[in-house]
Structure 1
Amino acid sequence: MTNQVLQTLVEMRGIESNYVDAWGKPATIADSSKAKLLNALGYDTSDESAVYEQLNQETLSYWQSPLNPVQVSRVSDKLQFSVRLPIELVNDAYTFVVTTENGTEFTQTFIPVDAQLIDAAQIEDVEYQEYVIDCEHDIEPGYHTLALTVEGDDEALTTMRLIMAQDACYMPDSVAAGRKVWGLSVQLYCVRSQQNWGIGDFSDLSRLVTDAAQTGAQFIGLNPIHALYPANPDACSPYGPSSRRWLNFLYLDVTALEGYHDASVQQIVNDPEFKAQLQAARDAQHVDYNAVAQLKLAVLGAIFDVYEKQYLKATSQPRKAFEQFVKEGGESLDMLAVYDVMQEHLKEAGQPSWGWPVFPERFKEYHKPDVAKFAKKHARRVTFYQFLQWQAARQLEQANQAAQDAGMTIGLYRDLAVGVSEGSAEIWGNKDLYCVKASVGAPPDVLGPLGQNWGLPPMDPKRLYEQAYQPIIDLFSSNMASAGALRIDHVMALLRLWWVPKGDHARDGGYVYYPVDDLLGILALESHRNKNLVIGEDLGTVPEEIRGKLADNGIYSYRVFFFEQAEDGGFFSPGHYPEQSMSTLTTHDMPTLIGYWHCLDLELGKTLGLYPTQEILDTLYQSRHEDKQAILNSLHGHHSISDEVGHDVNHTAMSQALNFGLQTHMATGSSALLSLQLEDWLQMDKPVNIPGTFDEYPNWRRKLTRNLEDIFADENLRNLASRLTQARIEASTDK
Structure 2
Amino acid sequence: MTAPEPADPPSEDLTRLAALYGVATSYSPSPDRIVAASATAVTSVLTALGVDASTPGAVRAALAAREREQAGRLLPPTVVGWTGSAPAALAGLPAGSRLRIDTEDGATRTSADGLPPGVHRLTATAPDGRTAEAHLIVAPPRLPAPAGRTHGLLVQLYSLLSRRSWGMGDLGDLRELAAWAGRSLGAGFLQVNPLHAAVPGAPTDPSPYRPSSRRFPDPVHLRVEDVPEAAYVADRERLHALLEQGGRLRAAVLEKSELIDRDAVWELKREALRLIAEVPLGPGRRAAYSDFLAEQGKALEDHATWCALAEVHGSDWHRWPTGLRDPRSAETERARNGLLDRVEFWSRLAWLTDEQLRAAQRAGREAGMPVGVVHDLAVGVHPGGADAWAQQEHFAAGMSVGAPPDAFNALGQDWGLPPWRPDRLAESGYAPFRDLLRALFRYAGALRIDHVMGLFRLWWVPQGHPPTEGTYVRYDAEAMLAVLVLEASRAGAPVIGEDLGTVEPGVREALRERGVLGTSVLWFERDWEGDGRPLPPESWRADCLATATTHDLPSTAARLTGEHVELRDSLGLLTRPLAQEREEAARDTGEWLSELSRLGLLHGTGGGGDASSEEAQIQAVHRFLLRTPARMIGVWLPDGVGDRRPQNLPGTWDQYPNWRLPVADAEGRPVTLEDLAASPRLRALMDVLGEPGS
Q: Secondary structure at the match of 1:497?
A: strand
2:482 partner amino acid = G
User: Aligned to 1:577, which of 540, 555, 564?
Assistant: 540
1:318 is aligned to 285
Contact between 1:281 and 1:291, CA under 8 Å: does it hold in 2?
A: no
User: Aligned to 1:515, which of 476, 480, 493?
Assistant: 476
Shift of 1:68: 2.8
- Change over 3 Å in CA distance of 1:46–1:523 after alignment to 2: same
User: Aligned to 2:298, which of 325, 331, 356?
Assistant: 331
1:99 partner amino acid = D
Pairing 1:179-328 to 2, within 5 Å after superposition: 180-213=149-182, 214-230=184-200, 234-271=204-241, 275-276=244-245, 278-284=247-253, 285-306=258-279, 309-311=280-282, 316-328=283-295
1:525-563 Cα shifts (integer Å, max 9, x gaps): 111101011111111111221011111111111101011
Shift of 1:82: 4.5
TM-score relative to the length of structure 2:
0.90
- Change over 3 Å in CA distance of 1:96–1:592 after alignment to 2: same
1:713 is aligned to 678
Q: Is 1:104 paired with 2:107?
A: yes
Contact between 1:40 and 1:436, CA under 8 Å: does it hold in 2?
A: yes
2:4 is aligned to none
Shift of 1:458: 0.9
1:140 is aligned to 116
Q: Is 1:35 paired with 2:43?
A: yes
Deviates more, 1:331-340 or 1:30-39: 30-39
Moved over 6 A (4+): 651-654
2:144 is aligned to 170
Q: Secondary structure at the match of 2:568?
A: helix
Partners of 1:30 and 1:195 in 2: how far apart? 55
1:321 partner amino acid = A
1:9 partner amino acid = L
RMSD: 2.8
- Change over 3 Å in CA distance of 1:554–1:277 after alignment to 2: closer
1:131 is aligned to none
Contact between 1:416 and 1:487, CA under 8 Å: does it hold in 2?
A: yes
Shift of 1:479: 2.0
Partners of 2:517 and 2:690 in 1: how far apart? 21
2:625 is aligned to 666
User: Aligned to 2:504, which of 543, 546, 551?
Assistant: 543
- Change over 3 Å in CA distance of 1:620–1:495 after alignment to 2: farther
- Change over 3 Å in CA distance of 1:445–1:583 after alignment to 2: farther
Partners of 1:232 and 1:474 in 2: how far apart? 31
Pairing 1:35-114 to 2, within 5 Å after superposition: 35-62=43-70, 66-79=74-87, 81-82=89-90, 95-107=98-110
1:119 is aligned to none
1:537 partner amino acid = E
1:604-650 Cα shifts (integer Å, max 9, x gaps): 43444444x445x66544322220111111111111114799xxxxx
- Change over 3 Å in CA distance of 1:692–1:84 after alignment to 2: same
Partners of 2:408 and 2:186 in 1: how far apart? 32
Contact between 2:167 and 2:246, CA under 8 Å: does it hold in 1?
A: no
Q: Is 1:355 paired with 2:313?
A: no
Partners of 1:100 and 1:363 in 2: how far apart? 37
- Change over 3 Å in CA distance of 1:459–1:522 after alignment to 2: same
- Change over 3 Å in CA distance of 1:232–1:462 after alignment to 2: farther
User: Aligned to 2:312, which of 345, 348, 366?
Assistant: 345
Deviates more, 1:239-248 or 1:327-336: 327-336
Extract unaligned runs of 5+ from structure 2: 1-7, 664-669
Pairing 1:673-712 to 2, within 5 Å after superposition: 673-704=632-663, 705-712=670-677
Q: Secondary structure at the match of 2:230?
A: coil
Pairing 1:424-435 to 2, within 5 Å after superposition: 424-435=385-396
Contact between 2:601 and 2:620, CA under 8 Å: does it hold in 1?
A: yes
Q: Secondary structure at the match of 1:259?
A: helix
Task: Give aligned-pair identity as a percent.
Answer: 31
Partners of 1:104 and 1:287 in 2: how far apart? 54
Shift of 1:9: 1.8
1:221 partner amino acid = Q
Shift of 1:17: 3.0
Q: Secondary structure at the match of 1:264?
A: coil
Partners of 1:681 and 1:449 in 2: how far apart? 35
Shift of 1:51: 1.9
Partners of 1:189 and 1:445 in 2: how far apart? 32
Contact between 1:598 and 1:654, CA under 8 Å: does it hold in 2?
A: no
Contact between 1:143 and 1:163, CA under 8 Å: does it hold in 2?
A: yes
1:626-675 Cα shifts (integer Å, max 9, x gaps): 20111111111111114799xxxxx9997222222222322232111111
Partners of 2:612 and 2:563 in 1: how far apart? 13
Partners of 2:264 and 2:50 in 1: how far apart? 41
Contact between 1:193 and 1:204, CA under 8 Å: does it hold in 2?
A: yes
Shift of 1:162: 1.1
Contact between 1:281 and 1:288, CA under 8 Å: does it hold in 2?
A: no
Shift of 1:696: 2.8
- Change over 3 Å in CA distance of 1:264–1:164 after alignment to 2: same
Deviates more, 1:34-43 or 1:161-170: 34-43
Partners of 1:215 and 1:138 in 2: how far apart? 44
Q: Is 1:443 paired with 2:419?
A: no
